Structure formats: structure tokens, C-alpha cells
Amino acid sequence: MSIDATLRLLSKASGLTVADIATAIPRAGIGTVNAWLKGDKIPGKDQIDALARAFGVPAGALLSELASTLDPARTKGEHDLLAAYRSLNSRQQGALLIVALSMKPKAARK
């Protein structure tokens, strides 16, 4: 689950409003919190820690998807491809995998 979806879920479950969250996070106004909830911005490290405290969850719970999708070893194209793949249903993912594997050079298919 993406960090914005996680934040929206935690906000709803905890009953915290955008204003409540903004008050709990240093240097984060309502506009910033709204941007996090929409996925337009990503909170920084200190803000992640404060969010985790506000929601009573480990910071890792907020970062698990972020860590897996923003692997610095991957190129921008790989991140985009992975995001597109994850948005497909299982049948579409299978079809895409078949197409991708068919594009590999014959020597690399073994």
C-alpha cells in the first residue's frame, strides 16, 4: 500500500482530521498534509517519525511500500514499469510478463 493510502487509512481509522495531523507534525501545515494524503508529496524523515507517533504505529509501517518502490538501484524507467505492472489485474500482469520474456535475447532466455 502506498504511503498516501496508508495515511488516509490511518487517518480514517484514528478519527484524526487533516488539521489534527497538521498540528501533530512540526512544520507541516494543512496544505502539506493534504498533499501527503493525495500522494503529491512525500513526508521527510522527521515528519514520518512524527506521523508514526501521531498514529501510534511504527515508522516502518508507513515506509514499507515506499522502500520497495523507491529502490535506488532501479532506474526511473524501472520504477515506472513496476508501478504500471502493479496497477494491472493478475491476468494482465501474466500477459505482460509473457510479452516481456519473449523480448529477451535468445541467449538470455535459458
For the chain, list the domains and their CATH numbers. Answer: 3-69 (1.10.260.40), 76-108 (no CATH)
- What percentage of the chain has pLDDT greater than the value 90? 31
Say what the pTM is. Answer: 0.58
Q: How much is the pLDDT for 44?
A: 87
Q: How much is the pLDDT for 66?
A: 55
User: What average pLDDT does this structure show over 92-108?
Assistant: 85
Q: How much is the pLDDT for 32?
A: 94
Q: How much is the pLDDT for 15?
A: 92
User: What average pLDDT does this structure show over 95-108?
Assistant: 84
What distance in Å separates the CA atoms of residue 75 and residue 78, rounded to the nearest whole number?
5
Question: Cβ atoms within 10 A of the Cβ of 7, count?
Answer: 22
| Count, residues in the chain | 110
pLDDT surpassing 90 at residue 79: no
Non-local CB neighbours of 51 within 8 Å, separated by 6+ positions: 7, 21, 24, 25, 43, 59, 62
Q: How much is the pLDDT for 29?
A: 92
User: What average pLDDT does this structure show over 37-64?
Assistant: 87
